[in-house]
């Protein structure tokens, strides 16, 4: 009467099985490859609709960091009275990198709550929402970086092999944003506080991280007494990407200590591993709460 449930399971596979803790990460990674068309589609949709209905169109990718940097530049030259001619370039690179971090993180934290209608109607790996959002932001960031070229020409800076630092910095930020984003996205479904907290962190972090200032300046200003404070701010995993980005374009050598670089790389990789694993493990509970 209740539909005979025979035991003939030939040709049947489990619909969306719950992954095991150890295999969750590799499975999710292979899923990215399987759904690369979907990621591409989501990403291009995201980018194209962002600048739809605007006259300047894609020019906004350059215009936005340029305008922001102009404001910060004038503000800080008034406050700081600095003379370094490379400051505009530094600020603009810092602003672009930080915007990637802040927009990417906020987007991935909201990736589950913001797509609840779609999640409830069709199944596909939900971690892709964050991936496509971050990828769209990555494309926009890369486009923004074009703005560094006129500054470099103006300052007479020759591009060196250090330009390779730029993609490394972007990869580090991408991993951090995704990892922390996945972790926060599932907690954000339970407690809406997480999204507010993230917004605060990305705003306050702007000042705590070397966006408007440089690590070299901090070292110079710090003196021997604030030795421990030195370590403390370098624990911020965004310090290394921001510094890498700057060195990539102005050709100066990296001043952050080696252990900070190792820390940043380790943090990025670990956050992706933990974030994705937690995401896959808690997904089934979280979706029901949406």
Partner 1 sequence: MSELSLLIKNVDLSFPRHRIGIGSLFRWLKRRMGQDARILPFEALKNVNLSISKGEVVGIIGRNGSGKSTLLRVMSGIYQPDRGIAMSSATVNLLSNVKIGFNGNLSGRENVHLYGSILGHSREKMTAMMDSIVSFAELEDFIDQPLKTYSSGMQARLGLSVASAVKPEILLIDEVLAVGDASFKERSRHRIKEMVDDASTVVIVSHNLNYLKKVCHRLVLMENGEIVQCGDPEETIKMYNELILR
Provide the binding-site residues for partner 1, judged by CB under 8 A: 1-6, 8-18, 35, 37-38, 41-42, 45, 48-49, 52, 115, 117-124, 191, 283-284, 287-289
Which tokens is 104 given?
A: 């990417």
| Residue 106 CA: distances (Å) to CA of 61, 151, 208 | 18, 29, 18
Of 93, 105, 135, 134, nearest in space to 242 by CA: 93
Minimal distance in Å, beta carbon 31 to partner 1?
12
Minimal distance in Å, beta carbon 15 to partner 1?
4
Minimal distance in Å, beta carbon 90 to partner 1?
36
Q: Is 65:99 a contact under the CB 8 Å cutoff? A: yes
Q: Is 126:196 a contact under the CB 8 Å cutoff? A: no
Minimal distance in Å, beta carbon 4 to partner 1?
6
Our CA angle for 53, 57, 58, nearest 5°, is 145
Minimal distance in Å, beta carbon 10 to partner 1?
7
Q: Is 172:54 a contact under the CB 8 Å cutoff? A: no
Distance CA 174, CA 185 (A): 16
State which residue, 2 or 225, has the beta carbon closest to partner 1: 2
State which residue, 3 or 223, has the beta carbon closest to partner 1: 3
State which residue, 41 or 154, has the beta carbon closest to partner 1: 41
Q: Is 211:95 a contact under the CB 8 Å cutoff? A: yes
Element (H, E) at 129: helix 127-144
State which residue, 1 or 22, has the beta carbon closest to partner 1: 1
């Amino acid at each position: 009467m209740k539909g005979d449930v025979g035991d003939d399971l030939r040709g049947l596979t489990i619909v969306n099985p719950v992954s095991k803790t150890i295999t969750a990460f590799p499975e999710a990674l292979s899923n990215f490859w399987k759904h690369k068309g979907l990621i591409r589609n989501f990403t291009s949709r995201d980018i194209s609709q962002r600048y739809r209905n605007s006259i300047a169109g894609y020019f906004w990718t350059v215009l936005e960091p340029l305008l922001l940097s102009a404001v910060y530049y004038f503000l800080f030259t008034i406050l700081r009275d600095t003379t370094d001619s490379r400051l505009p370039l530094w600020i603009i690179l810092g602003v672009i990198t930080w915007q990637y971090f802040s927009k990417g993180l906020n987007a991935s934290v909201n990736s589950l709550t913001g797509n609840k209608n779609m999640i409830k109607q069709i199944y596909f790996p939900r971690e892709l929402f964050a991936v496509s959002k971050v990828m769209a932001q990555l494309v926009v960031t890369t486009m923004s970086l074009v703005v560094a070229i006129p500054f470099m020409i103006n300052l007479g800076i020759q591009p060196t092999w250090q330009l390779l630092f730029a993609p490394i910095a972007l990869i580090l930020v991408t991993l951090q944003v995704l990892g922390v984003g996945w972790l926060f996205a599932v907690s954000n479904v339970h407690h809406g506080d997480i999204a507010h907290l993230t917004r605060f962190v990305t705003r306050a972090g702007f000042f705590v991280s070397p966006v408007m200032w440089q690590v070299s300046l901090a070292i110079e200003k710090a003196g021997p007494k604030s030795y421990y404070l030195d370590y403390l701010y370098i624990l911020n995993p965004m310090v290394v990407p921001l510094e890498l980005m700057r060195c990539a374009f102005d050709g100066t050598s990296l001043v952050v200590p080696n252990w900070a670089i190792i820390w940043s790389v380790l943090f990025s990789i670990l956050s992706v591993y933990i974030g994705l694993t937690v995401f896959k493990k808690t997904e089934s509970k979280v979706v029901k709460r949406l």
